[in-house]
Amino acid sequence: MIRDPTAGISNSGRRMKPTRREMLLASLGLFITGAAGATGCTQTSTTLTRRPGTPWPGSISKPTPNPPGSRAYTAPRPVQPRPPVAATTGPPGLRPRSWWTRTGPIRSKVNPMKGINRITVHHEGHTPVWFTDEQSTKARLEQVRNIHTRDRRWGDIGYHYIIDRAGRVIEGRPLAYQGAHVSKQNPHNVGVMLLGNFEKQSPSQAQLTAMQSTIRHLMAKYRVPVKRVYTHRELGPTVCPGRNLQPRVASLRTNGALA
């Protein structure tokens, strides 16, 4: 409503006393102006934005800037799953240590490996092995571990990898620790043992095939040259790995099978 600018003024030009209604309207206007000025802000139309949620691994909650259906609405991006952590790779077909035992190394009796630069092949050297079933292999490995820890007072089974007569490749002592397989030459040295006594028997073809693939894997992974692939007898006074395995390892080094 637009008021007449001459309202409240007499014909003689003198200001007339304001009416009660004018005084009431003026008082109301001052109240509204004062309330707005107290906060220093201007009320505008806006959309409530949610605060980001807790950033759990693999997903982060993002606020939606505008409600669905509005012109500026942007659909939230789908949460991308995190890639799985890469598992530590071992030789082909590796059976983990948990396959045959739940007992870990005695930490106070093992030393860290701190790098690998050579590989040594062994035979078990006890009674001949003709069995190929899993249970017999597990029992034999536990027997070897007991001899090494109880009788020789070592921190664990001495070898890092064991290959049974069926060609199974089995984790022994974790590679994080030095083995106990070559006297005074265990640092940086991976021990690979084939079950059996190869002074009295010959290794099976499955064992020889698995031994070759295991050595090749270790050479490639740790950049071990063929000249640093040994047998036990080449590093110390022993018949290990037996007269029927020694020439097989020597042949692998010379015929290019490990190249």
Residue spans per domain, the chain = 113-254
CA separation for the pair 110, 180 (Å, rounded): 9
Percent of the chain with pLDDT over 90: 64
Give the β-pairing of 94-95 and 169-171: parallel
pLDDT per residue as tens digits for the range 114-169: 999 999 999 999 999 999 999 999 999 999 999 999 999 999 999 999 999 999 99
- Are 114 and 175 in contact, with CB atoms under 8 Å apart? no
Scan for tokens 């077909």, then name that residue: 93
| Predicted confidence (pLDDT) per residue in 69-113, tens digit | 545 544 444 433 333 333 357 898 999 999 999 999 999 999 999
Beta-strand relationship, 161-163 and 94-95: unpaired
Calpha distance 138→134 (Å, rounded): 6
CB 181 within 8 A of CB 191: yes
CATH 3.40.80.10 assigned to domain 113-254? The reply is yes
**How does pLDDT run across 201-225, given as a tens digit for each residue?**
999 999 999 999 999 999 999 999 9
Provide the pLDDT confidence category of residue 19 given band limits of 50, 70 and 90: low
Among 34-43, 186-195, 231-240, which is the least confidently predicted range?
34-43
Q: What would the mean pLDDT of 54-77 be, rounded to a whole number?
A: 42
Average predicted confidence (pLDDT) for the chain: 78
Q: Has residue 46 got a pLDDT over 80? A: no
Q: What is the pLDDT of residues 173-185, one digit of tens each?
A: 999 999 999 999 9
